[in-house]
Every structure is written in structure tokens, then in C-alpha cells.
Chain A
């Protein structure tokens, strides 16, 4: 059973460009979470999605950031008009349908560097 997959693993963008980060959850998992880790800091929750629904985006910056988890295909975290402060590691996690003490399993992350 493959784990959570993220691509690309590394992404370089110039200021003003768009960044698209993809996350494929573990097989059978229908809940996806995105976290951001700025350099030398801990992981911070960004958004929680289920298929075709955003459940909680309270951790997302108000502008330029959006996320989706379509019925088919991976979850996408989109950053428009990137700035240098967006440089970070972005981690995706997935969990199965809610059950007793559900656990989130993380992918390897996408390292975004904005020049």
C-alpha cells in the first residue's frame, strides 16, 4: 500500500509566478490536510479537505492561497503570485474515514523556493 505521495518534491519559482503542489492520499483515505513548515519553524496547519469540500481553511493565508480536492485526482495547493516569504516545505497528510482515534499519515513534502 503506497503512502502519501507529493509532487514535485522540489519546486523553484520566481516572484510573481504560480506554484501548484499536488498530493495523492493513501489508498482508501478521503481526508487530506496541508501543513506548512517555514525555515527553522514547526509545522503549521493550513487547510483540511474532504472530497470536493473544504472543511476548514482557517490556517490558510487570506490571499493568493487556495486548495482543492476534486472527486477525481490529487489534492492541489495553489499559490498565486509567489513571494519570497512563501519559501517553505509544504506537507500533505491523509487519514481514513473518521474512526476511533484516526491518525494522519504524512507525505515527504514539497520544498518550494522562491527566487
Chain B
């Protein structure tokens, strides 16, 4: 799986959009970008995933650059409950090597009042 690079920490004011970047410059054509988050002491929570098109669901939006070497997770209106560690993971699903999620260090997002 391609390696990812994320900033170790970010701050965001409550109510504002949180934009979390991820670099994956060695991503291959069949690797998807997944985002998970882990709120303190809880199990990781799936957020969103995509291959090359931008994706949106009830939690967030995922913007993937045209060359697929980087992506941004957007939480449109951050709340205090969004304070968590966010993990960007690239993998090939349904493959013999893609089932083990490599969580790395992630970005610790602090949402402040």
C-alpha cells in the first residue's frame, strides 16, 4: 500500500470548516483513499472513501486531486465532537494485501469553542 503523509495536528474553530490534507504521492491506479477517525478511547470510525472522483456523505466530503497524489477531507461545520485523530489510508480493497488497514500516526484535530 502507498504511504501517506499527514500533519500531526490541526486546530479548527467550532462551526468552521475543517480541511485535513493527506499526501499519497506514490498511490497506484487501483488504490482507494479511505478516511477513518478515532475519538479518544473509542474504536475507529469509518468516514468516507474514494478512488478518483470527489465524494460526499452525511459526515464529510473527500476531494481528490486530479493526479491523485493528494486529497483533503472536509468537515463542513466542525463541532466539538469532531475532536479526534483522523487517519488517511490508501489501499486496494478486496485484495490479498489490502485488508490490513495501515493507520499510521494520523492528524490530531482539535475543535475549539
Contacts and interface: CB of A to CB of B under 8 A. Distances in A.
A67 to B, nearest CB: 14
A30 B94 CA distance: 14
Given A42-B106, A101-B93, A106 B44 contact: yes
Interface residues of B, number: 22
Contacts of A4: 43
Number of chain A interface residues as a range: 20 to 34
A59 interface: yes
A33 B100 CA distance: 8
Given A101-B93, A102-B94, A48 B43 contact: no
A106 B45 contact: yes
A108 B43 contact: yes
A103 B101 CA distance: 10
A107 B106 contact: no
30 contacts: A4-B43, A33-B99, A33-B100, A35-B101, A42-B104, A42-B105, A43-B38, A43-B101, A45-B100, A48-B99, A59-B100, A95-B99, A98-B93, A98-B94, A100-B94, A101-B49, A101-B93, A102-B93, A103-B34, A103-B93, A104-B46, A104-B99, A105-B46, A106-B43, A106-B44, A106-B45, A107-B43, A108-B43, A109-B41, A109-B42
